[in-house]
């Protein structure tokens, strides 16, 4: 165990206290992710900001932890449509408008193995959306999430990322 010289102890203590006062200090979200609070629960959402990332989505993912998911950021606001090509797990799909207000929630089961692409079901937003969040199926219900709920997002930062 390393020892700290006595003359450095007050400085280290003040640094630690200062860090404790700053929300998230030393716990920055990993690159390519966004921390989001939904109904008081923290989620670590992988970002999809390009057409390639959006098309890939959560294809091939075998498991999502309760606090994991994906946040899709689009450059415009319009009715969105998702499908479950290559998805192995059921997902909750939460569409949000440009202010982070929930406009539609759907649960998407994975397609049967071997389902042809032209037979995959599409899941569309009821109203125009700028963002979409995918969580493990059942999480939206556990949170009590419903249409018109607000999800606080760093809107200005996110909108600047979409391509």
pLDDT tens digits for 130-145?
999 999 999 999 999 9
Model confidence at 157: pLDDT above 50: yes
Tokens of 157: 């930062």
**Confidence grade of residue 156 (pLDDT, cut at 50, 70, 90):** confident
**Do the Cβ atoms of 80 and 119 come closer than 8 Å?**
no
Average pLDDT, rounded, for the chain: 83
Of 104, 95, 102, which Cα lies nearest the Cα of 72?
Answer: 95
Model confidence at 8: pLDDT above 60: no
- What are residue 70's DSSP bridge partners? 46, 134
For domain 32-159, the CATH superfamily is Protein of unknown function DUF192 (2.60.120.1140)
**Do the Cβ atoms of 32 and 47 come closer than 8 Å?**
yes
Separation of alpha carbons 153 and 99, rounded Å: 8
Model confidence at 25: pLDDT above 80: no
Mean pLDDT of 12-34: 45
């Amino acid at each position: 165990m390393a020892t700290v010289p006595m003359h450095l102890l007050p400085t280290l203590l003040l640094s630690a206290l200062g860090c404790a006062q700053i929300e998230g200090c030393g716990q920055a979200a990993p690159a390519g992710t966004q921390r989001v609070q939904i109904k008081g629960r923290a989620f670590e959402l992988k970002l999809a900001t390009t057409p390639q990332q959006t098309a890939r989505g959560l294809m091939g993912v075998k498991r999502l932890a309760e606090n994991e998911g994906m946040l899709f950021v689009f450059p415009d606001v319009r009715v969105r449509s998702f499908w479950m090509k290559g998805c192995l797990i059921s997902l909750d799909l939460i569409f949000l408008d440009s202010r982070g207000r929930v406009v539609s929630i759907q649960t998407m089961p994975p397609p049967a193995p071997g389902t042809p692409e032209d037979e995959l079901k599409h899941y569309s937003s009821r109203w125009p959306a700028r963002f979409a969040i995918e969580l493990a199926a059942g999480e939206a219900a556990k949170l009590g999430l419903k249409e018109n709920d607000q999800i606080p997002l760093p809107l200005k930062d996110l909108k600047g990322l979409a391509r």
